[in-house]
A and B are shown apart, each in its own frame.
Chain A
Amino acid sequence: MAKFTTNPSDTIVPGDFILHDISLSSPLNNNISLREILIELNLYESVFKHTLTGNMVLADTTNLLAVYPIVGYETFTITFDNPDITKSNPITKEFRIYNVSDYNITGEQSAGYVLHFISEEFIINSHTKISKSYIGKNISDIVQSIYEDYIESDKSLVIEETRNLHDVIIPNWSPFYSMTWLSSRGMSEEYNGANYFFFETLDGFNFVSLEGLIDEVRKDMGLYPDGTKMKYIYGIKNVGEGDDYTMATNYMVDQTFNVLHNLSLGMYGNKLITHDIVRRSYTEYDFDYKETYEDYIHVEENNTSNNTSENQQSTMLQSDTLDDFSEKYDSHRMMIPVHYQLYGGIRVPNRNTSHHERTIQSRVSQLQQLNTYKLVLTVPGDPHRRSGDLIYFECPNVGASNSGEISEDVLYSGNYIVLAVRNKFSKESHETVLELVKDSYFTPLRKESV
């Protein structure tokens, strides 16, 4: 059984962790350790969240809230280590306390409550607004500029270069809202998709596309010979044994296909109408999931082997029905304004090459693809897992096979992108809960009937 230990010489099993430091400090008070009153601590990151967040459940017998006091100006520091994985390279993170909730009296001299914390950068973001023009710049340069000028963080920022020049004004938005907005307009210099995200992991901030994250792993065969950053396995035989941190302790299918959603949200096909108010014209663009499938990087590489026809790729639709859905452009209609030479003039020429209309259709489809198959996987505490990681999950087939051997589930096994990570620390152990999504099947769907 995994455990919370303070002694590195203890026997280490997956899920064990060393909590070197967990303390509060404030401008007026010295550090105070929370180790003794900590019940549970959760650390969250997600590609959909700008910063790390977290909370901790405390059992307080000293009325710390009033005595210290904890009023929202405190800094929370945690240093932890998973000896079997981190090789005694502790991870230290600092956060700002911003809220107390769920306060309740648990005894005559004890109270329980939840302290919420968040990265300092989010506090800065909350009181910062940007009203600034960025003319003739690519999105990644704008992101870099905003990060340096407004976030003022010492943390690293990983940026994947974008293509096209943009003329934009950030109209009094917060830095992170601006980043999200810019994400929706970013197209990778190298890839065709439009699935940029701005998010923080334990390593720092990222402005990257999911395609870039996937391809980065595939290209680095030296570091990732299996083509993924991690392989997790789930099987009955593994439950409770806990002798391998690759063994998933639990998995839950959170979401599977929903054709109605996919249709109405434009995953298979969508139509975009642009109206140019200066040219006095409109243009219609159709997006076809089938035709463009190979233009984008997916979690699974195209696999036409096995028992599939040549045309059957790892798509989410069987080829027989593919035409039916992907050519139904009217299932999701969009209309956006276009303004010829919106910026520029006699003194400043127009340099905008953004072609925003070309990103919106693929982004709509790609984001919905990430919303098709979603798994929640619980694994032994893994401080290396990050949002955006490409991992492999081997899921056993729950049906009996003819040979009696346990085979992989053709739907749920395969590569996944980690959308979100929850590191859950308790007195007993450190668990990592991963939210996984996939946009393609490891085993292409059969075209022939069984």
Chain B
Amino acid sequence: MENTQNFMGFEYIWWQGVVEDRIDPLKIGRCRVRILGFHTEDKNMIPTNDLPWAYPATPITSEPDSTPTGPREGTWVMGFFRDGRNAQEPVMTHQIDSGMVNKNTPGKGFNDPDNNPAKPDKPLLVTEKDVGEMNTHKLAVGEKTGTLLGTNSLTKSSILDPFPLISEPETKYAAVYPYNKVTESESGHVFEVDDTKGAERISISHRSGSFYEIHPDGGQVVKIKGKNYELTLDDKNIHIEGDLNINIGGKTKEVSKSKVVESTDSIYMTTDTITGTVGMSTGYLSIETADGITLIGDVHIKGSLVVDNNIFVNPANLGQIQSPLFSATSPAAIAPIALPPHPFGAVANNNPVDTSKLQSETMIPIIAVSEVKSLAITTAAELADIT
């Protein structure tokens, strides 16, 4: 190339300056930068609004259509003038903002003018640094106090107290500089990738206190301080090799097209002993067990009871079948027989009734109905005929 004058690229001039405005009317990530040595700090001579928009150059690893909006007002950045010595067209290439926290003087150039109307309110939990301190994030240098993480670990959920099934684990934060990569947004969201030996974590925290943390052992804690919605537009598969413990402070309601519950062991449902009710509203309920069903307490059947086999009454409890129209008592002539180990004790639920034993050893059939697919036991006469 023979002509190097008036030819862009032969003479880029590097510069350094401070972002004073990032409300780019074109919304492409440009910032107004006051450039040291070229622009005076005197805003009477060059008001912030008169500064040219510095174009944001991005790394080649960034997505082409993404908008780089990293620098904030007050951030030191560097770049070059595309037009060389003319010094009119700045391009931002890097932030050079690590170092000491300085006092902000909004009225002077090279400071945050603090006149950005769209700037978020000062967040409640954002990590603050004092003037004179290095502005490296506290979490990156092993200081948890005064950070969102430190605050978060002190405010465990109060709803956990009456539900001791689950307790909120402590964070495994034990970062050592320089292994914890921390990014905190200006409203206080914190992203951590902590490679500290023995305390490797990944943590994403929302300024509200909701967070997600993966612990060094691979454990995970997810804490949601607001409502939680999880939508899956296809199958969802959960594999749990240990126990599943759920504390629910409110009610549980589940709607599905159908439900199958399989268990290799028992299934328990426990409700409050006074008000608790287990209700089931369904078109048809089928319960199939290998060893039978034990019901503890009275059973109130508001419809018909159809039995394909025998009905037994436990003579040990002087069981009766009673109806205004019918009464049958176990034959008194049969003396009570010693029962096998008590089948109806407090823990009887996991000891189903052995009906074959009852029938042969302890019980006599009161009613034996065969070929009765839709039988209604209605009158004493009918029963008498049968017996």
Binding site for B on A (CB under 8 A): 131-133, 135, 167-169, 171-172, 181, 264, 266, 275, 277-278, 332-337, 339-348, 360, 364
Contact = CB atoms under 8 A, between A and B. Distances in A.
A364 B3 CA distance: 12
Given A169-B88, A171-B87, A341 B26 contact: yes
B53 interface: yes
Nearest to A338: B89
Contacts of B53: 339, 341-343, 345
Interface string B1-28: 0110111110000000000010111101
Nearest to A133: B50
Given A336-B8, A345-B53, 18 more contacts: A131-B39, A133-B51, A168-B88, A169-B51, A171-B87, A172-B39, A266-B3, A277-B91, A278-B28, A334-B7, A335-B9, A336-B83, A341-B53, A342-B89, A343-B53, A345-B21, A345-B23, A347-B49
Given A131-B38, A341-B26, A342-B89, A336 B52 contact: no
Nearest to A131: B40
Chain B interface residue bracket vs A: 35 or more
Given A171-B35, A264-B2, A342-B52, A335 B8 contact: yes
Interface in B32-56: 32, 35, 37-40, 42, 45-47, 49-53, 55
B6 A275 contact: no
B228 interface: no
B3 A278 contact: no
A336 B35 contact: no
Contacts of B47: 133
B207 interface: no
Contacts of A348: 49-50
Given A339-B53, A343-B50, A343-B53, A333 B23 contact: no
Contact of B3 (A133, A181, A264, A342): A264
A4 B150 CA distance: 93
A168 B82 CA distance: 15
A277 B47 CA distance: 24
Nearest to A132: B45
Contacts of B39: 131, 169, 171-172
Contact of A346 (B25, B83, B87): B25
Given A131-B38, A135-B50, A344 B3 contact: no
A237 B310 CA distance: 154
A339 B55 contact: yes
A40 B7 CA distance: 45
Contacts of B2: 264
A65 to B, nearest CB: 38
Nearest to B45: A132
B387 interface: no
A344 B6 contact: no
Interface of B: 2-3, 5-9, 21, 23-26, 28, 32, 35, 37-40, 42, 45-47, 49-53, 55, 82-83, 86-89, 91
Contacts of B52: 167, 169, 339, 342-343
13 contacts: A131-B45, A133-B50, A133-B51, A169-B50, A169-B51, A277-B82, A278-B26, A334-B6, A335-B8, A339-B52, A339-B89, A341-B53, A346-B25
Contacts of B32: 345
Contact of A336 (B6, B37, B45, B55): B6
A344 B46 contact: no
Task: State the 6 A-B residue pairs at the shortest beta-carbon distance, nearest first.
Answer: A133-B50, A171-B38, A131-B40, A337-B82, A334-B6, A171-B87
Contacts of A347: 49
Contacts of B49: 345, 347-348
B297 to A, nearest CB: 73
Given A171-B35, A342-B88, A333 B7 contact: yes
Given A168-B88, A341-B53, A345-B21, A132 B46 contact: yes
Contacts of B50: 133, 135, 167, 169, 343, 348
Contacts of B88: 168-169, 171, 342
Contact of A360 (B6, B26, B82): B6
Given A131-B45, A332-B3, A344 B55 contact: no
Instruction: Name which of B46, B47, B51 has the most chain A CB atoms within 10 A of its CB.
Output: B46
A209 to B, nearest CB: 19
B7 A335 contact: yes
Contacts of A266: 3
Contacts of B83: 336-337
A347 B115 CA distance: 12
A419 B42 CA distance: 39
Contacts of B5: 334
Contacts of B25: 341, 344-346
Residue of B6, B24, B51, B86 contacting most chain A CB atoms (<10 Å):
B6
Contacts of A131: 38-40, 42, 45-46
A133 B88 CA distance: 11
Contacts of B24: 345
A333 B3 contact: yes
B9 A172 contact: no
A369 B10 CA distance: 26
A178 to B, nearest CB: 11
